[in-house]
Every structure is written in C-alpha cells, then in structure tokens.
Amino acid sequence: MSGALPDSQALRDEATFFVVGTTRSGTSLLSLMLKNHPAIAYPGEFEWAVDFMPGPDSYPPVDAYVDWLSINRHYRHHRPHIDATLSYPDLVRSFLAQMKQEQAPHKPLVGMSVHRHFDRLLHLFPGARFVHIVRDPRDVARSWIEFGWEGNGWAAGRAWADVESLWDRIRPRIPGDRVHEVRFEDLVRDPPAELARLCSFFGIPYTDAMLRYPETSTYGPVDPNQVGKWRKTLPLREQRRVDGEIGAALLASRGYEPCGAPPLHAGPFAARLLALDDWWRRLRKRIAMFGFGIWFCDQIAKALRLEGWHRRLELRRQAIINASLK
C-alpha cells in the first residue's frame, strides 16, 4: 500500500468488529456476505495481529514482529505500511486502519476474522464488537481432516473444544451489547433472517446485496446441504472421538446433540497413539501438497538454523497455498 499512514486512533473501536470462531465454521462465507454490505469493509483474516504476542496482555518487540511479518502470508497479501516507531498496539491498529482505507474508505464499519488467540484482541481493541460463529464440530472435523489440518477426530475434537472454551472464558468480559452469536446452520438455512439480525446488531439496514457475493467472488450461493454432512462422510469412530473430546455439556451449550453412539474417551496411552496418528496423517497431507523435496529441505534448514534458506522455502510454500485457494 502507498500513501500517508493513517492515524491509528482515527479508527474508532466502536466502528470495528471481529468475527471469531474455529476455521471451517463459516467465517469465510459470513465475511463475503458482510463485505457485500455497502456499510462494511472486510479486508480478511487478522491472526497476524495476535499470533506473535507472547500472551493475552503482553506485546513482543516491534523489530522482532516486523521481521516475522516479512514471511507472513496474510501480511504479505495486504502489505500495509510499517511504522516501526509505533508501539505494538498502535502498529496493529494502524494496519487495520490502512486496510480499511485501501479497500473501502467510505464505509463506516470494518471487520476481520480471527480464529485463535482472539482474547488478545480485548487489549488491542478494547471497545470492539465481536461476532461469534459456531458450527457443528463433526462438520468442522470432517472438513479439517479432509484438508489435512487435523489428522483424526480426537485431535479435531480437542481443537474445536479449545477454541470454544476460549470464547466461554472471554465472553463474560465483553458487554452484552457488543456481542452477537451466529450458528452456521441457521445462517445457511435462512440467510436473510440471520443477516437481518446481524445488521440490527450493527445498527444498519439489511440489504439483499449481502447474498449477491457470488457475483464478486469464486464462492457459490448458500447451500443448506452443507449442514450435517458429517453423518454420511465422517466415520462413526471419528464422530465418537469428537464427542468424547468435547463432552456432552459443551456440545449442548452450543445446541448440538451427541452423534448417537457412545463417545470415545482416550486414556493416556490411547491419547499418545492418537497424537502420533494425527501427526503422521497431517505430515502425509503436507508432503502431498508441497512435495517431499520442500518438506525435506525445510527440515534440514531448520535443523542447521539456515534462516535464509528456511525463508525462501516458506515463500515457496505460500505460493503453493495461494495457488490452491478457492
């Protein structure tokens, strides 16, 4: 991006919101709908604002953060100007202000997706609003395993529970008028009704333009058949593993029923075996995607601490990921 750096304080927190939830929970679909609203700018994902923080209320050295950003795929997509004289919070806020200015300076609201460490946003944007989206964990697990992001239902159940438990911990710290809940299943079954509720939360009128996102993206129209695909495509053993790691109480709190078969709870020894199985399955997916050569060379680069070689390999991986995106 070019031009003068916008004042990081010019973007008021009350004009800022974050869509939080697990990956594959519908954040991409919802972001496209929101971006199509004439009042909402939506630059994309913003994990790179929080991933490098040592903890929820502590900040890293700005120079180390800037070095890390140089090979961060999402930062490299937007490339906002870096003013290294700013504090970490002000630098992050300046990034969001710049991205809004670049994409839609006339729109009063700006939102971004954050799938992890979103408790850290409370310190970076203390007055922001939050939209929490949740999806049936068996459908999320099915998708994660298909993409190779998780290797089995045990790992997927733990990952889903971690994210939702984090939301439960920070939810009481956010005033009720700054929180909105969305269920993926409700969104795809009746998009106008759910989007009208969301627009009311923002204080803006609903518009059918939100459903015309296929005209400006590679995504197709809303498909209610995406609900409950796990019943036919996720093996029963994996369903039971997901349920076993999440627990009936957390499932019920999100409005979901157990799969119908007894949950599988992994003891210490079984958990170690499942962790190994998860690692092996994810490794096979990575090698299939990037090739054995890139993976092997990167292991050598990291073992020998050849930072320049590692960076070049990381950029090659990012090019492969970008080419595979929908």
275 lies in the same domain as 295: no
pLDDT at 43: 96
Count: domains in the chain: 2
Let me know if residue 243 belongs to a domain.
yes
pLDDT at 156: 98
Tokens of 105: 């300076």
> How does residue 10 score in pLDDT terms, banded at 50, 70 and 90?
low
> How does residue 326 score in pLDDT terms, banded at 50, 70 and 90?
low
Tokens of 258: 């157990």
Q: Find the domain containing 306 and state its range.
A: 291-326
pLDDT at 324: 79
Tokens of 295: 């993976």
> Per-residue pLDDT averaged across 73-95, rounded?
95
204 lies in the same domain as 296: no
241 lies in the same domain as 301: no
> Per-residue pLDDT averaged across 277-287, rounded?
96
156 lies in the same domain as 299: no
pLDDT exceeds 80 at position 325: no
> Per-residue pLDDT averaged across 152-164, rounded?
98
pLDDT exceeds 50 at position 6: no
pLDDT exceeds 80 at position 5: no
Chain-centre distance for alpha carbon 227: 19
pLDDT exceeds 90 at position 153: yes
Beta bridge partners of 41: 110
pLDDT in tens, 188-206: 999 999 999 999 999 999 9
Q: What is the mean pLDDT of the chain?
A: 94
pLDDT at 219: 92
322 lies in the same domain as 191: no
pLDDT at 3: 40
Let me know if residue 66 belongs to a domain.
yes
pLDDT in tens, 14-39: 899 999 999 999 999 999 999 999 99
- Report how far residue 315's alpha carbon sits from residue 71's, in angstroms, rounded to the nearest whole number: 7
What's the burial of 64, exposed, middle or buried (CB within 10 Å: 0-12/13-18/19+)? exposed
Q: What percent of the chain clears pLDDT 90, i.e. is strictly above it?
A: 91
> Per-residue pLDDT averaged across 252-261, rounded?
96
Let me know if residue 97 belongs to a domain.
yes
CATH classification at residue 267:
3.40.50.300
198 lies in the same domain as 315: no
185 lies in the same domain as 316: no
pLDDT exceeds 90 at position 9: no
- Does residue 110 sit in helix, strand or coil? strand
pLDDT at 2: 40
Let me know if residue 170 belongs to a domain.
yes
Residue type, 25: S
Let me know if residue 25 belongs to a domain.
yes
181 lies in the same domain as 314: no
91 lies in the same domain as 159: yes
222 lies in the same domain as 326: no
Let me know if residue 322 belongs to a domain.
yes
42 lies in the same domain as 95: yes
pLDDT exceeds 60 at position 236: yes
Let me know if residue 55 belongs to a domain.
yes
157 lies in the same domain as 295: no
Let me know if residue 8 belongs to a domain.
no
Least confidently predicted of 1-10, 111-120, 176-185, 268-277: 1-10
